[in-house]
């Protein structure tokens, strides 16, 4: 379906206005040849990410350039130590994360995570948990994925392909999965952005995966002349 830049902008603005996590009056939207440019100021990293994800859901969007600045509320303000302690408490109370294996450092609102987790999805989950913390302006996730046992690359690839075969709107024959030392590279074509996310998650949640590179193309965008 062909979408003009004007229609894409209208849909993005409506999506941001609908999303209760985002104050759409603080975010400006521009669209150039299907590329959405977001500008403005929001109070948290969580809100900034939410706005970007909202734009990515819109039909016809090729990519999103997120230039939104984070301006935490002046009152009440949190110190780096308070932010760090809050993050540690959140990670400690999460059953999927072992805080003993993770170092959390906060400097001027930038959170750096170091250490190890046993699965790739746990690394991403830690990122999500940190993004919800007020006062965070940026996340540097340096967590290394160390699986609890050794996995053969062929074994990982087979499991990913099987997961793709069970996934709605995803044709595994249209996707190439390459695995090298646990690092997954996915290429090929999927029909829409939702299918692309599902394909990505098929790799994300597969045991033994330590990193995922998504080079998938979306056919609805390939044929879009917006």
Residue 226 has pLDDT above 90, yes or no: no
State the Cα–Cα distance between residues 69 and 40, nearest whole angstrom.
6
pLDDT confidence bin for 10, thresholds 50/70/90: very high
Q: What is the mean pLDDT of residues 8-15?
A: 95
For domain 5-70, give the fold: 3.30.1340
In this structure, are residues 31 and 224 in contact, taking their beta carbons and an 8 Å threshold? no
DSSP 191: S
Residue 83 has pLDDT above 70, yes or no: yes
Whole-number pLDDT of residue 112: 98
Does domain 80-145 fall under CATH 3.30.1340.30? My reply is: yes
| pLDDT, tens digit, 9 for 90 and up, residues 173-192 | 999 999 999 999 999 999 88
DSSP 92: H
Q: What is the mean pLDDT of residues 202-223?
A: 86
CATH architecture for segment(s) 153-222: 2-Layer Sandwich (3.30)
Q: What is the mean pLDDT of residues 102-110?
A: 95
| pLDDT, tens digit, 9 for 90 and up, residues 114-141 | 999 999 999 999 999 999 898 899 999 9
Residue 2 has pLDDT above 70, yes or no: no
Cβ-in-10-Å burial (0-12, 13-18, 19+) of 59 comes to middle
Higher pLDDT, 207 or 78: 207
DSSP 143: P
Residues of the chain with CATH 3.30.1340.30: 5-70, 80-145, 153-222
Mean pLDDT of the chain: 91
Q: What is the mean pLDDT of residues 160-170?
A: 90
Whole-number pLDDT of residue 3: 81
The dihedrals phi and psi of 36, each to the nearest 5 degrees, come to -95, 130
């Amino acid at each position: 379906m062909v979408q003009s830049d004007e229609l894409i902008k209208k849909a993005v603005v409506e999506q941001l206005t609908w999303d209760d996590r985002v104050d759409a009056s603080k975010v400006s939207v521009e669209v150039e040849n299907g590329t959405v440019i977001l500008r403005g100021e929001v109070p948290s990293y969580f809100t900034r990410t939410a706005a970007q994800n909202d734009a990515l859901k819109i039909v016809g969007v090729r990519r999103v350039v997120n230039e939104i600045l984070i301006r935490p509320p002046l009152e009440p303000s949190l110190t780096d130590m308070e932010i760090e302690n809050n993050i540690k408490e959140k990670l400690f109370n999460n059953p999927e994360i072992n805080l003993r294996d993770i170092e959390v450092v906060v400097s001027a609102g930038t959170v750096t995570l170091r250490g190890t987790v046993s699965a790739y999805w746990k690394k991403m989950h830690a990122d999500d948990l940190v993004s919800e913390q007020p006062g965070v302006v940026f996340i540097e996730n340096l967590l290394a994925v160390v699986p609890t046992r050794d996995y053969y690359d062929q074994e990982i690839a087979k499991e990913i392909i099987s997961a793709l075969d069970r996934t709605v709107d995803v044709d595994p024959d249209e996707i190439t999965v390459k695995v090298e030392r646990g690092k997954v590279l996915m290429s090929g074509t999927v029909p829409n952005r939702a299918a692309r996310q599902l394909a990505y998650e098929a790799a994300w949640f597969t045991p033994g995966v330590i990193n995922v590179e998504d080079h998938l193309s979306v056919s609805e965008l390939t044929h879009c002349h917006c």
